[in-house]
Amino acid sequence: MKKIVGWTAALCLLLAPGLFAADTVKIGLMGPMTGSWASEGQEMKQVVDLLADQYNQQGGVLGRKIEILTEDDGGDPRTASLAANRLATRGIIAVIGTYGSSITEASQNIYDEAAIVQIANGSTAIRLSEKGLKNFFRTCPRDDEQGKVATATIQKLGMKKIAILHDNTSYAKGLAEESRANLKAANVDVVFFDALTPGERDYNAILTKLKAANPDFVFFTGYYPEAGLLLRQKKEMGWDIPFMGGDAVNNPALVETAGAAAAEGFYFLSPPLPKDLDTAEAKSFVDAFTKKYGNVPKSIYPVLAGDGFRVIVEAIKKTESVEAEKLSAYLKSSLKGYPGLTGTLAFDDKGDRVGEVYRVYKVDSQGQFVLEP
């Protein structure tokens, strides 16, 4: 008898961690908490923490609290694969993130093998959703969508000789190549196509070469730290020519680096900023965020991470399941017109967001991002 009690006690001890673990629904967040994109990652965490708190105050999901497990991908593919491995072993149902396309790419297969739903928030490279991974989704649009909008914008502005500059990351290169193909099809001259090295400070040599190609419009498809420096050094050179950026320049740090005078007149493509959205969901979210953190969300990608988090919670609620297969099937076939923070959400069979998202912004003389009509 004593023996049985002993064994039962031992068994209980063994099972106990498992029992406690079942108490919460675990959702991972993988984002660049450090590295050059840290401002994006840290705001991603703020957004997802805020939304998780809101759900938990209403009793969580499936009668369980939601627990967010955060890992830092450092904006670096190697760190990301380590982060993904750590998260995959900690019993998460789904993971939100991440920002850069090459970073997401390094983690995709790890989550796929562990049967975890991944919802990327800023990775727009086309091939991420062309690999036939069943549990991969993204709330941001794809580069081919952005390439089309870029071409339409350039034509609308009446530009004839275009220079395209990227930074060799999978995202920027993909967008640059897509745009070049579209522009050629539309009979617009691409007079320059090359890549800079991200992380440097001096891009004067590149600007001098760009200027010699004599374009009337420059499309830079890279990220905001480099875009800010390019604008600043372009102004210093006294070269007056319109620049446009892709959606990765959408961060106020751009204007801080360049200065308002150098950034004025800069165009960029982006999903709408939170402050420009007028749906009830967007407004109440921006209010709650401002109340908790003292400022409005600065960038759109953290908000898209919030949308990823909200659709996965919705899927768990509706399917009453935490199995990746059921969740993915629900997101692909049953979720239609879900009112997200960035407009309505639905996904196609590849896991890509359906519908037009991009808008054109222009920087005004105060350095504010103004939505072009």
Partner 1 sequence: MGLWSLMEQFFQQLTNGLAVGGIYALIALGYTMVYGVLKLINFAHGDLFTIGAYLGLTLLTSLALNDYVGGFLGLFILAVMVMGLVGIIGILLERTAYRPLRQSPRLSAVVSALGASIFFQNAIMLIYGAKFYVYPQDLLPVVPINIFGLSIPLMRIIILLASVVMMIALYLFVQKTKIGTAIRAAAIDQGAARLMGIDVNFVIMIVFFIGPALGGAAGLMVGVYYGQINFTMGWIYGLKAFTAAILGGIGNIPGAMVGGLLLGVIEALGAAYISIAWKDAIAFFVLILILIVRPTGLLGERVAEKI
The residues of the shown chain that bind partner 1, judged by CB under 8 A, are 33-36, 38-39, 42, 168, 194-197, 199-202, 204-206, 208-209, 212, 225, 228-229, 232, 236-238, 253, 256-257, 259
* Closer CB to partner 1, 232 or 283, in the complex: 232
**Comparison of 74 and 147: residue with beta carbon closer to partner 1:** 74
How far apart are CB 259 and partner 1 at their closest, in Å?
5
Q: What is the Cα–Cα distance from 90 to 178, expressed in whole angstroms?
A: 38
CB of 201 to partner 1, least distance (A): 4
- Pick the closest to residue 243 from 179, 163, 358, 360 (CA basis): 163
Q: Which is nearer to partner 1, 215 or 340 (CB)?
A: 215
- Identify which of residues 226 and 281 has a Cβ nearer to partner 1 in the complex: 226
Residue entry with tokens 């991944």: 118
Q: How far is the CB of 205 from partner 1 (least distance, A)?
A: 4
Work out how close the CB of 306 gets to partner 1 at its nearest, in angstroms, rounded to a whole number: 20
Q: Which lies closer to partner 1 via its Cβ, residue 10 or residue 237?
A: 237
- According to DSSP, residue 272 is labeled P
Residue 30, SS3? strand
Considering the complex, what minimum distance in angstroms separates the CB of residue 166 from partner 1? Answer: 9
Say how far apart CA 221 and CA 214 lie, in whole Å. Answer: 19
By C-beta, is 4 or 212 nearer to partner 1? 212
Between helices 38-57 and 280-293, what is the axis angle to 10°? 110
CA 277, CA 61: separation in Å to the nearest integer? 27
**Least distance (Å) from partner 1 to the CB of residue 247?**
18
The one-letter amino acid at 266: F
CA distance to 48, 67, 92, 113, per residue, from 330 (Å): 22, 22, 18, 20
The C-alpha atoms of residue 33 and residue 19 are separated, in whole angstroms, by 31
